[in-house]
Amino acid sequence: MTQIRLRNTMSRQVQDFAPIDPKNVRIYLCGPTVYDRAHLGNARPVVVFDVLQRLLRHVYGESHVTYVRNFTDVDDKINATAVKRREEGAEGTLEDLIRARTEETIAWYHADMDALGAARPDHEPRATDYINAMIAMIERLIEGGHAYAAEGHALFRVRSYKDYGRLSGRSVDDMIAGARVEVAPYKEDPMDFVLWKPSDDGLPGWDSPWGRGRPGWHIECSAMSYELFGDSFDIHGGGIDLQFPHHENEVAQSCCAHPHGEFARFWLHNEMLQVEGKKMSKSLGNFFTVRDLLDEGIPGEVIRFVFLQTHYSKPMDWTAEKARQAEATLRKWRAAVAGIEPAPAAAPSVIAALADDLNTAGAIAALHALSDPAELKASAQMLGLLLEDMGEWAEAPAVDLSAYAEHLADLRARAMETKDFAPVDAMKQALAAAGVEVRMSKAGVELSLKRLDSVKTILARELNARVREDFHEAEAWGAIARAMLAGEQASQENQTEMLTKIQQDFLQ
Ligand SMILES: Nc1ncnc2c1ncn2[C@@H]1O[C@H](COP(=O)(O)OP(=O)(O)OP(=O)(O)O)[C@@H](O)[C@H]1O
Ligand SMILES: [Zn+2]
């Protein structure tokens, strides 16, 4: 049997993975708070853990894995949207409006993650369906001296758990010194965190021994994983941004409520999708959604491929160039495997890479080396690529390069007379920069396409060159753009319209 090795955040080491019960390997992934569309960063854990569950099913058997990903549907931001809708005249109670908002967001989430080829988990528990389990867990914590009630709240007594800080490698005293804790009059200690808090009238709440209120975020995952998995399970995952405090607090709650269990044996954290060195996040506002990319015509499979080219433990950026290259590779592979049945087994090289702490980049490199299309298909499917139901792609735009070649040949003929080769050089450079490979010899001009930037990008470069008063370069970009537009059979009118629009955009 393949030995899977995984980096365990708890031990900070890559360890051999052995499930508690090989007939039921259990993974829990912290899911989204369903108040809005998922941004691209939110999709990274989904893709990473989708590959992990595929690998586990491959090794332990299709039906021997239980994959759980929750929906957090108790949240101030959800409430705020519902309140706003009610103020705008929407009908129904606040509960109805909240439910409508979460249903809507869950449907978007499913559609977006389906488009990335991520299999739906076996269970998708919603926090609001587990309130009683959360209350029961808090009561156990209070009985055990690990929590206390104060002013309508229930709080976890952090000093009662000696291993607090082990997962994130922080000491309680450092945390206090760093003052990253909220001081509140009802807390015994500033480190203590909320298990239950009162709800204002007019906001959703549930009756509890501490009054009408709602659960804190951390207790949700502890209670839902306990209900579905019991006191010990195999792998707990999420983004590295959740390591502290969310996961640290989950460990404290679960281990204190069920001291005979181990809670999660392995902790796996994916690094962040970044934008210019910063985490993509709603709060920083530096985000775009998965839907934005899909609407731009970027297939979900391309998004998945781009994610998998970086190891999950490394930060990464999204770039248009990465997407372009991923698309080119996938087009090539899709053509190679069209109509072919996948081989019965994936290539050992691909499995070996994945088993080595989910080395997805290594697995992709191994895919490139496969020559049998049936094996390529079976192996790519291990990564959730080349799946049957990912839909047809639009044809790649056929680009006729003859117009460019003719233009370049004309320029060269003219340069032979004038002895001014600057226009030829400018055109060659522009073509290369736009993604066209140029070879010129006595016999003629030979062009081949590696990729081609959009007309809009090219026209922006033309304007840029004009602003710099580099007229040869500007002329070269202009020639490329005209040839492209002609290739796309844009009417003369369209060309002018497009040019004007782009000039306006550019000059803003
Ligand atoms: N930039 C990112 N890169 C990778 N994973 C991320 C990123 N941002 C959030 N995640 C992960 O997405 C999952 C869902 O998180 P959650 O719903 O709490 O995010 P959010 O609150 O909408 O995001 P934000 O962090 O932008 O406020 C979590 O596992 C989280 O770790
Ligand atoms: Zn969680």
**What is the number of the ligand 1 atom nearest to the C-alpha of 242?**
31
DSSP string, 153-206: EEEE-GGG-TTTTTTTT--HHHHHHTT-S---TT-SSTT-EEEEEE--TTS--B
What would the mean pLDDT of 307-331 be, rounded to a whole number? 94
Tokens 């007939």 belong to which residue?
Answer: 23
Nearest bound ligand to the CA of residue 247: 2
The answer to whether the annotation marks 419 as part of a ligand binding site is no
Contact 44, 22 (CB under 8 A): no
pLDDT value of residue 147: 98
**What is the number of the ligand 1 atom nearest to the C-alpha of 237?**
29
Work out whether strand 232-239 and strand 65-69 pair parallel, antiparallel, or are unpaired.
unpaired
Tokens 């004309």 belong to which residue?
Answer: 410
The answer to whether the annotation marks 246 as part of a ligand binding site is yes
Ligand 1 — pocket residues by CB below 6 A? 30, 32-33, 41-42, 44-45, 238-239, 241-242, 270, 272-273, 279-283
Contact 364, 309 (CB under 8 A): yes
The answer to whether the annotation marks 250 as part of a ligand binding site is yes
C-alpha of residue 9 to centroid of ligand 2, in Å: 15
* Cβ neighbours for 134, distance < 8 A, ≥ 6 positions apart: 127, 195, 196, 215, 219, 220, 223
- For the entire predicted model, the pTM comes to 0.81
Whose CA is closest to atom 26 on ligand 1?
A: 281
Pocket test for ligand 1, best of 28, 34, 42, 74 (most atoms within 8 A of CB): 42
Element (DSSP H or E) covering residue 344: none
* Cβ neighbours for 333, distance < 8 A, ≥ 6 positions apart: 367, 376, 380, 385, 386
HEC assignment per residue over 371-439: CCHHHHHHHHHHCCCCCHHHCCCCCCCCCCCHHHHHHHHHHHHHHHHHCCCHHHHHHHHHHHHHCEEEE
pLDDT digits (tens, 9 = 90+) for 69-97: 999 999 989 999 888 998 999 999 888 99
Does the structure's ipTM exceed the value 0.85?
yes
What would the mean pLDDT of 195-222 be, rounded to a whole number? 95
pLDDT digits (tens, 9 = 90+) for 271-315: 999 998 999 999 999 999 999 999 888 899 999 999 999 999 999
The answer to whether the annotation marks 256 as part of a ligand binding site is no
pLDDT digits (tens, 9 = 90+) for 157-188: 999 999 999 999 988 887 777 666 677 899 99
Phi, psi of 75 (to 5 degrees): -170, 145
Query: What are the residue ranges spanned by the domains of the chain?
Result: 22-273, 297-387, 402-452+493-507, 455-485
CATH code of 22-273, in short, is 3.40.50.620
pLDDT value of residue 206: 96
